[in-house]
Amino acid sequence: MKAVEAVVEILKREGVECLIGYPVNHVLEYAARWDIRPIIVRQERIGLHMADAMSRLSSGKNIGVFAMQHGPGSENAFGGVAQAFGEGVPILVLPMGYARRIAHIRPNFNSTEAMAPVAKTTEPVTSADEVPNIMRRAFTQLRHGRGGPCVVEIPTDVMNEELSSKLHYSPVTSTRYGPDGADVAKAAEMLVAAKDPVIYAGGGVHFAEAWPQLKQLAELLAIPVCTSLSGKSAFPEDHPLSLGAGGLASPKAVHQYLHAADVILGVGCSFTETSFGIAMPKGKRIIHATLDPLDLNKDVEIEMGLLGDAALTLEALIGAVEGLIDGPRDNAPVAAEIAAVYEEWLAQWMPKLTSDQNPMTPYRVLWDLQNTVDKDNIIITHDAGSPRDQLSPFWRATKPLSYLGWGKTTQLGYGLGLAMGAKLARPDALCINVWGDAAIGFTGMDFETAVRERIPILSILLNNFSMAIELKIMEVSTEKYRSTDISGNYAAMARSFGGYGERVTDPAEIIPAIQRGIAQTEAGVPALLEFITDKEVEISRFSL
């Protein structure tokens, strides 16, 4: 058996059903021979984003895999690897590498060395006989601890090298660990004694599939729950105890309740300080439940750390809390307060959400979208910049993983690949990406990939012919040189690729256009709806 055949056989045993990539990487051809579907993208970053979504939607059980050529292919892939690293998503990256004799000679791009700062592990295949050991190490890291890319670089001269014996490889199983019982007891006492506790849930709740435990603990102690962007949909946002998701823009209740909290329980989160997420208020007593010890006291000072899987941690907390109280607390008073704050905030925004102005406001587009789709059978994601800040505060996610949020690092164009990967993982769901005319400039050519590879997503484009979010900080360059102006007829582009494209200029046509787009996806055709909007720069932002 050749080394390349051993790699593909291991992927098969690990349950990999499709391999995303850009040639030439011989793993792609051999994957097809082993009945693993190769999906060829137009650029490497999109393929990594697709693999990213596939791992997320399986809670890290079915790992997304991406393969690319050595040299320029690996260089182009760097940004996608970095994005997955920032979001803590496990993906297996299989770059070809230069032949071993020149792998470390400059200026050759060595993925093992270059990607080390943005990967969980990197390792080159040194010989065919080492393939099973190296792949076992990679899959072990992918299925344990904080997520992140694992890079296995396969030099060109190793691909056809023969193993000296039969391949011995068993799929990697995952092991969970939980927090110290004494620490759990102290944390439970803090929560029970707190006057105004708040739970802040991150993406780790998704990977642990700890959604029932999070809901049970919140209801047991009548604790309001907010999430990070990556944790959005981990707690149902139509639940009376939901505050919504915290980001650069967020519902008023998120800020109000975090500001008033005396104890904050962060679970499945890193508390990473970022310009695109909510900042934790100072002076709070913080319990930090995380899988990664490197998160503790990293960006916020904590009083108690609970190390372990989010589901195991929450189960332990529930057991400890139940021993301290007579029964579930009455949720009604705090639920009524949350509802009052939400209704007041929403009323202030309803004029934008329902506006008939023309050019239309993006808020009207997204409000109508939310009230048209079947939210129990969708997966939606935003893009960087304005689409993220216009969508996340108002979209009420009702099912786990129905919203793929992100924001520690914000590469433009990320949302398209996420939606495409989501559709591969969940072909029964309506998969939507919301982006702007800046983001489509980065990755829009891969809408053709959706058409060619038969991945029928619904793409919602907000086109205001401008980099609107930059207008306030580029006033002179805009006035003198039109530096923030951008243009394009993207509906026509979608049609030219063989997809469905429609440009919408009338607010009255928003819902009918969405319905036509959904019908196209149900017929197997990717649809791009281009809504011509005004240069909206206002977001739902509050200061603590």
CB 447 within 8 A of CB 495: no
Q: Are residues 255 and 282 in the same domain?
A: yes
Average pLDDT over the chain, rounded to an integer = 95
What's residue 543's pLDDT? 42
Work out the average pLDDT over 490-497: 98
Q: Are residues 139 and 58 in the same domain?
A: yes
pLDDT in tens, 354-390: 999 999 999 999 999 999 999 999 999 999 989 999 9
Place of tokens 């619904």: 458
Given pLDDT bands bounded at 50, 70 and 90, which one contains residue 465? confident
Burial status of residue 366 (CB atoms within 10 A of its CB: 0-12, 13-18, 19 or more): buried
* Whether pLDDT at 161 is above 90: yes
Q: Are residues 91 and 131 in the same domain?
A: yes
What's residue 471's pLDDT? 72
Alpha-carbon distance values, 421 to 9, 66, 97, 429 (Å): 23, 12, 26, 12
What's residue 410's pLDDT? 85
pLDDT in tens, 164-219: 999 999 999 999 999 999 999 999 999 999 999 999 999 999 999 999 999 999 99
Q: Are residues 427 and 510 in the same domain?
A: yes
What's residue 541's pLDDT? 64
What's residue 540's pLDDT? 65
Tell me if 344 is assigned to some domain.
no
Work out the average pLDDT over 71-76: 97
Looking at residue 390, which CATH number applies to its domain?
A: 3.40.50.970
Residue 442 structural domain: 354-532
* Whether pLDDT at 544 is above 50: no
Burial status of residue 93 (CB atoms within 10 A of its CB: 0-12, 13-18, 19 or more): buried
**φ/ψ (deg, to 5) at 436:** -110, 180
Q: Are residues 488 and 377 in the same domain?
A: yes
**Stronger pLDDT, 536 or 103, i.e. the higher one:** 103
Tell me if 169 is assigned to some domain.
no
Q: Are residues 204 and 307 in the same domain?
A: yes
CB 295 within 8 A of CB 263: no
Task: Find the range with the poorest average confidence among 247-261, 329-343, 409-423, 526-540.
Answer: 526-540
**φ/ψ (deg, to 5) at 24:** -100, 120
DSSP 85-124: HHHT--EEEEEEE--TTTTTSTTS--HHHHTGGGSSEEEE
Tell me if 176 is assigned to some domain.
no
Q: Are residues 333 and 191 in the same domain?
A: yes
Q: Are residues 407 and 321 in the same domain?
A: no
**Stronger pLDDT, 350 or 474, i.e. the higher one:** 350
* Whether pLDDT at 222 is above 90: yes
* Whether pLDDT at 117 is above 70: yes
Q: Are residues 115 and 202 in the same domain?
A: no
Work out the average pLDDT over 29-47: 97
Q: Are residues 415 and 522 in the same domain?
A: yes
The pTM of the whole model exceeds 0.75:
yes
What's residue 538's pLDDT? 67
